[in-house]
Structure 1
């Protein structure tokens, strides 16, 4: 970390030098603002947030000039291919990131204990670079303070150049009065759900919880998980000098409940999604809305129940599956078996492993959701392709016992 003197202090020093032979005056204390060029260098602002350089994907120099309320990228050398990961993520955050926790933070916090997460952000953009302006929300089944979290929520406020979110577009939605395309996928280390703004957002005051609720609705987290950090910054692939977070604030307010309701401001999935700009996914994606199967009985035992909710577009779909244990004892290392209709194939999954990719398949849980408490439930989801007409599985069995479908 290096420091730069404020302009006023430099002017005073120059003036004093010109009259040094006449009179000796005491020098005023020079205020210093940090300029961070170290790869993972960081500092705190407002005694509340951490600003980090976070140059993780390149050896080229990157420097950020930290301000009292954010930062500006002053040097951003080098470039990386736009079909891969970005070269860095200079950002400001509340919470914990790889053991670096912001002062006095109440994160990690269990989602069920959160009433709201109020936040504001103000960005400055440039056009001579390739990047996104990304607001990141990290979730994990444990109160994790180090390493990679299980689910990453990304809000793309802006993008310049041929870059796109991880995965593929699966739906569209309106949250807090703004329209977004929803992308889902995995980067190999964690699941990612991205909200790509239909138009550039320069600044916004909003509640973060509707985005978390949407991730939970898709089986990518649940109320027992933890919110570990909230971050805002940029992912540059080429250049980036001049990008700035002018101001950032976030407040996690306790007082939630475990009801798990997912209320979002405006219409939910439906309509059409147009992937324009310079992304590789062009054209129009029609989302067939959300269909919940109902009334189909896979057995009379009643010890388990499955809710299967899908979102369908021509040639592709996502499915979210909730498995409920109606028995009096917990189920450990559960296995959910079902048959995909002819022509359907799984391309990716989250919160479970599905094998094989077609025909008679079995979903096995991850380590963090391998137990279903008595009267409780676990959720997972997957994305797939299909040919011909679309239909949903007709029956499910949990650990060999037929389940009702509701």
Structure 2
């Protein structure tokens, strides 16, 4: 069956399931087939906020995915491609985006592509790579990012309950990843990435923000990002990778951005060594220097309970790299022996977080690796 007929057939099946009559289905099929170009490739327009359509046979789906606003948006879907034709969004960049038009391989909530190599259990994951080519405008507020979804079972019938792994390639308009900064310039898949941690709707969200923005990637090693998150305790080896999607988070505007080509490859061979063993950790912490002066600095430490149960208290341990000393801190108990620092804090509910300031002497520290343990 050619691509146009496949799209027409799947759109027809979807609308039959919704109870539309034969005349309506015939009209919809005609609309899809009317977008066939001279080469036989097909395109279809999506304007409904929740609309989906095949995007290249059975292996890929496109979604309009307007979820954070009520403003209109339309996309044109082709063979493993998508173009944003109109987007009238204008939401604050400090909050959630208005929409995430994207292409998907795997299962996004209950919408699934017809592929046999996803889902795959993390502990048995072979190499998963992706190519993605975009064209991007220089107006509006948006980012271009992958989202890799993990779930406790092989199919997510509703919201995925594992982790959301975001691979952030480029942004415009000053948007930045949410959460706390865990690490800087981590080398993965031939590039360097800043690693952020947040919790959203009961899930852990790990964001890998590329150092040096790009508009296309080739052979991006998604399994390597997964392995890094397993090693950090963010992703469980027992979970399943259920979907890889690539698209644009839109806060303001976005028309003209396009996915020119997108593909995901899952190698058939099993890995020689299973990926990781840790279970997701209960708490994480990150230190950010906010102010500096000659001979001193002020830092903010954020602690997050990323587990599913309350913690009765927490203990932070870190070692300053250059002999810095804590001079004062409010609301927490700090002890220091040499360069080793220990902070003890109180209870945190699941998803809860707390921050505290500390004033230190010495040169401002760079990345400080903090161990957070439930008390």
State the TM-score, normalized to the length of structure 2: 0.68
SS of equivalent residue, structure 1 residue 115 = coil
> Is the CA contact (8 Å cut-off) linking 1:110 and 1:224 kept in structure 2?
yes
Count the aligned residue pairs: 294
Deviation at 1:174, TM superposition (A): 1.6
Which of the residues 140, 157, 165 maps onto 1:129?
140
> Is the CA contact (8 Å cut-off) linking 1:139 and 1:228 kept in structure 2?
yes
> Is the CA contact (8 Å cut-off) linking 1:166 and 1:186 kept in structure 2?
no
SS of equivalent residue, structure 2 residue 229 = helix
Partner deviation per Cα, 1:191-217 (whole Å, 9 max, x = no partner): 111111122212111211111112111
Q: Is residue 156 of structure 2 the alignment partner of residue 145 of structure 1? A: yes
> Is the CA contact (8 Å cut-off) linking 2:77 and 2:83 kept in structure 1?
yes
> Is the CA contact (8 Å cut-off) linking 2:230 and 2:275 kept in structure 1?
no
SS of equivalent residue, structure 2 residue 43 = strand
CA–CA separation in structure 1 for the residues paired with 2:87 and 2:213: 22
Partner deviation per Cα, 1:211-265 (whole Å, 9 max, x = no partner): 1112111211121111010000000001111010100100222444595557xxx
Deviation at 1:128, TM superposition (A): 1.2
Distance change in 2, residues 1:101/1:345 (3 Å):
same
> Is the CA contact (8 Å cut-off) linking 1:345 and 1:357 kept in structure 2?
no
CA–CA separation in structure 1 for the residues paired with 2:163 and 2:372: 30
| Partner residue in 2 for 1:104 | 115
Distance change in 2, residues 1:199/1:92 (3 Å):
same
Superposed counterparts of 1:46-65, under 5 Å: 46-47=56-57, 48-65=59-76
Distance change in 2, residues 1:8/1:351 (3 Å):
closer
| Partner residue in 1 for 2:207 | 194
Superposed counterparts of 1:342-381, under 5 Å: 347-358=303-314, 359=344
Which of the residues 202, 217, 223 maps onto 1:204?
217
Q: Is residue 42 of structure 2 the alignment partner of residue 42 of structure 1? A: no
Deviation at 1:362, TM superposition (A): 7.6
Distance change in 2, residues 1:360/1:184 (3 Å):
closer
> Is the CA contact (8 Å cut-off) linking 1:353 and 1:363 kept in structure 2?
no
Deviation at 1:106, TM superposition (A): 2.7
Partner deviation per Cα, 1:319-372 (whole Å, 9 max, x = no partner): xxxxxxxxxxxxxxxxxxxxxxxx998631223444345547689999xxxxxx
> Is the CA contact (8 Å cut-off) linking 1:122 and 1:204 kept in structure 2?
yes
Which of the residues 176, 179, 185 maps onto 1:164?
176
Distance change in 2, residues 1:212/1:250 (3 Å):
same
Distance change in 2, residues 1:344/1:202 (3 Å):
closer
SS of equivalent residue, structure 1 residue 196 = strand
| Partner residue in 2 for 1:329 | none
Structure 2: which 5+ runs fail to align?
A: 1-27, 291-298, 315-343, 361-367
CA RMSD of the aligned region, Å?
3.8
Distance change in 2, residues 1:188/1:308 (3 Å):
closer
Structure number with higher helix proportion: 2
Superposed counterparts of 1:207-356, under 5 Å: 207-257=221-271, 259-260=273-274, 313=287, 347-356=303-312
| Partner residue in 2 for 1:33 | 43
CA–CA separation in structure 1 for the residues paired with 2:166 and 2:99: 15
| Partner residue in 1 for 2:198 | 185
> Is the CA contact (8 Å cut-off) linking 2:142 and 2:251 kept in structure 1?
yes
Structure 1: which 5+ runs fail to align?
A: 10-28, 263-306, 317-342, 367-381, 398-406
CA–CA separation in structure 2 for the residues paired with 1:351 and 1:244: 37
Distance change in 2, residues 1:395/1:203 (3 Å):
closer
Distance change in 2, residues 1:5/1:171 (3 Å):
same
Deviates more, 1:138-147 or 1:348-357: 348-357
Deviation at 1:70, TM superposition (A): 0.8
